Amino acid sequence: MVHKGQNGLFDALTTKGTAFTREERAELGLLGLLPYAVKTLDDQVAHTYQEFSRRRDDLDKHIYLRALQDRNETLFYRLLAGHVEEMLPIVYTPTVGEACERFSDIYRRPRGLFVAYPDRGRLREVLRNRPNRDVDVIVVTDGQRILGLGDQGIGGMGIPIGKLSLYTLIGGIDPARTLPVVLDVGTDNVERLEDPNYLGWRHRRIGDDEYYAFVDEFVTAVREELPEVLLQWEDFATPHALPILERYREEMLTFNDDIQGTAAVTLGALQGAARVAGRPLAEQQVVMLGAGSAGIGVLEMIRQEMVAQGLSDAEAAERIWVVDIDGLLTDDRTGLSDGQRRFAQPAERVEDWDGTGLADVVHRVEVGVLLGLSTAAGAFTEEIVREMAGKTDRPIIFPLSNPTSRAEAHPRELDEWTDGRALVATGSPFAPVERGGKARRIAQCNNVYIFPAMGLAVTAARATRVTDEMMRVAARTLGEASPALADPAEPLLPAWEDVPEIATRIATAVAVQAVKDGVAPEMSEDEVAEAVRRTRWTPEYR
């Protein structure tokens, strides 16, 4: 619906700005409110691209695009769609990390919901005030673990905004049906607390009892106001992430992207890598640096895959080695969570080792797959990588920590230290690596390959739960689209221009699985495909 007059001009979801025709201007009471010239959407795209290109640094570019999004969403998405590879790192990782750190400084206009602890008891009212009535997808964070940048308090809001932009760009979710949310439960980031510009509740983070009660009030309000919405949890600190997921996942349509989305994309990328390496996952020794919710989530899915390939639970666990800040996870360690304990090696297996750091593990184990979800920049050192490369023909090495400044290794180094034999995927985007005069694109193993498709799937299928099997199907469908399957010299994951198409494929397969799992109304495969097609929103003036 297009509003009349000034209001219509400033409604970002429906405005056409200078593209309102003479007739529309007359009909909508806009005569005189716009400069005379009438532009087309394509003219506007060309113009905004030119302006975008004039911004000096990436944060300026981010600010420019965010302002455009607040002004004219159709134009924003049309511009993005034509320049995905160039603009993804601007609206999303890594630049969104900086935008979160500087959120209060660069703040211009509100977007979504700021759900603050002092408003507890009134969250139903807060939810009712939401800017968009009908919502398909909520992304919510509490800002405590923003990428590998730690606690950003309210600044974490940049992440739900960025992720939802990709739900639309890649998954075709109507931007009028998205809702970014930040739970403002204080911050322990002293820099933010002392910053006069800080826009959040200036308070230390609340204790766990108050915290879980507040999350519960929020979830209750969401379920009352938007009973069918997909609620995606994002960038919660590990001690809260899994308890929250387990508390709500059987009761409503919800998933945790850092745990489940990351696992699915990693498994997808490993599918291509294992094929090129000529060795199935179940025959690999896997080493993970980092035992947070992301790392453990990935390993859970890897173990399930190894079991699907014929191993017992125990045999799979034997092949998985997890190293955290205190060294290898072993069963004599205290203070491990249940999730971590499932991957703890028997202490006697390592009793004659000199140490249990990453270098020791790589030295002792015939490691074929090395994964990093640790935030430990540079932790995959030359010595470690060279040692691993001596043990296997095609070492599979994924430095997955974000943003770029937290990556466990640079792909150029991995290429050099392994004479080009390493099969690499990174969490953040990196420039192509040159070898023998040829530039090779580096796959970005980031949950952005999964969550937009998941949103499209559950929206189209009207699913009521996100099952593990739906996540596995997403991983498998992505894995089958790996360019490396056809040509081992190609990247492990599809190119960005193909990703919206592949998201449709993933969404269709996931929606079919939702029906099979009994968490979506009965539909034939054709009906599912048609529902997915119909759900997809495209940026054009209507």
Ligand X SMILES: O=C(O)C[C@H](O)C(=O)O
Ligand Y SMILES: NC(=O)c1ccc[n+]([C@@H]2O[C@H](COP(=O)([O-])OP(=O)(O)OC[C@H]3O[C@@H](n4cnc5c(N)ncnc54)[C@H](O)[C@@H]3O)[C@@H](O)[C@H]2O)c1
Q: Within positions 212 to 241, which residues make up the interface with Mn ion, using CB under 5 A?
A: 235
- Asked if residue 235 belongs to a known ligand binding site, the reply is yes
Active-site choice (16, 61, 77, 92): 92
- Residue 163 a catalytic site member: yes
Only one of the segments 218-226, 252-260, 464-472, 531-539 lies at the binding site for Mn ion (rule: CB under 5 A); that segment is 252-260
Interaction site with ligand Y (CB under 6 A) = 145, 147-148, 238, 258, 262, 265, 289-295, 323-325, 373-376, 379, 400-402, 406, 427, 445-447
Asked if 151 touches Mn ion (CB under 5 A), the answer is no
H or E stretch including 230?
Answer: strand 230-233
Alpha-carbon distance of 517 to 331, in angstroms, equals 36
Asked if 257 touches ligand X (CB under 6 A), the answer is yes
- Are 29 and 63 in contact by the 8 Å Cβ rule? The answer is no
Asked if 142 touches Mn ion (CB under 5 A), the answer is no
Shortest Cβ distance from residue 403 to ligand Y (Å)? 7
> If binding means CB under 6 A, how many residues of this protein chain bind ligand X?
9
Q: In the stretch 157-186, what mask flags binding to ligand X with x, by CB under 6 A?
A: ------------------------------
Shortest Cβ distance from residue 97 to ligand X (Å)? 8
5 torsion bin: left (phi>0), alpha (psi -120 to 50), beta (else): left
Torsion angle defined by CA atoms of residues 230, 233, 234 and 238, in that order, rounded to the nearest 10 degrees:
-160
462 torsion bin: left (phi>0), alpha (psi -120 to 50), beta (else): left
- Are 281 and 270 in contact by the 8 Å Cβ rule? The answer is yes
Active-site choice (16, 61, 77, 163): 163
Q: Which residue is nearest to ligand Y (CB)?
A: 292
Dump the DSSP string for 100-161. Answer: HHTHHHH--S--SEEEEGGGTT-HHHHHHT-SSSS-SEEEEE-SSS-TTS---GGGGGHHHH
Shortest Cβ distance from residue 300 to ligand Y (Å)? 13
| Contacted entry of Mn ion, ligand X, ligand Y, none for residue 324, CB cut-off 5 to 8 Å set by kind | ligand Y
Q: Which residue is nearest to ligand X (CB)?
A: 93
> Chain centroid to CA 54: how far?
28
When the beta carbons of 231 and 361 are compared against ligand X, the nearer one is 231
Alpha-carbon distance of 114 to 528, in angstroms, equals 35
- Asked if residue 446 belongs to a known ligand binding site, the reply is yes
Shortest Cβ distance from residue 258 to Mn ion (Å)? 4
| Contacted entry of ligand Y, ligand X, Mn ion, none for residue 483, CB cut-off 5 to 8 Å set by kind | none
- Residue 92 a catalytic site member: yes
Asked if 93 touches ligand X (CB under 6 A), the answer is yes
> Chain centroid to CA 345: how far?
30
Q: Which of 72, 447, 477, 513 binds ligand X (CB under 6 A)?
A: 447
- Asked if residue 132 belongs to a known ligand binding site, the reply is no
247-269 burial, b at 16+ Cβ within 10 Å, e below that, comes to ebbeebbbbbbbbbbbbbbbbbb
Only one of the segments 9-17, 62-70, 258-266, 382-390 lies at the binding site for Mn ion (rule: CB under 5 A); that segment is 258-266
| Contacted entry of Mn ion, ligand X, ligand Y, none for residue 461, CB cut-off 5 to 8 Å set by kind | none
Shortest Cβ distance from residue 236 to Mn ion (Å)? 9
Cβ neighbours of residue 535 closer than 8 Å, sequence gap 6 or more: 172, 173, 456, 459, 460
- Are 231 and 442 in contact by the 8 Å Cβ rule? The answer is no
Alpha-carbon distance of 456 to 468, in angstroms, equals 17
When the beta carbons of 235 and 408 are compared against ligand X, the nearer one is 235
> Chain centroid to CA 426: how far?
13
Q: For residue 431, what are its two tokens?
A: 């420039």
Residue 227 per-residue DSSP state: T
When the beta carbons of 16 and 145 are compared against ligand Y, the nearer one is 145
- Are 158 and 99 in contact by the 8 Å Cβ rule? The answer is yes
When the beta carbons of 357 and 427 are compared against ligand X, the nearer one is 427
- Asked if residue 256 belongs to a known ligand binding site, the reply is no
When the beta carbons of 215 and 289 are compared against ligand Y, the nearer one is 289
Q: For residue 132, what are its two tokens?
A: 């968009």
- Asked if residue 258 belongs to a known ligand binding site, the reply is yes
330 torsion bin: left (phi>0), alpha (psi -120 to 50), beta (else): beta
Shortest Cβ distance from residue 475 to ligand X (Å)? 16
Alpha-carbon distance of 182 to 141, in angstroms, equals 5
| Contacted entry of ligand X, Mn ion, ligand Y, none for residue 406, CB cut-off 5 to 8 Å set by kind | ligand Y
Q: Which of 142, 258, 408, 415 binds Mn ion (CB under 5 A)?
A: 258
When the beta carbons of 62 and 145 are compared against ligand Y, the nearer one is 145
348-357 burial, b at 16+ Cβ within 10 Å, e below that, comes to eebeeeeebb
Asked if 258 touches ligand X (CB under 6 A), the answer is yes
Residues annotated within a binding site for a divalent metal cation: 234-235, 258
Residues annotated within a binding site for (S)-malate: 145, 402, 446
**Catalytic residue positions, numbered:** 92, 163
Chain positions contacting ligand X, by CB under 6 A: 93, 147, 235, 257-258, 402, 427, 446-447
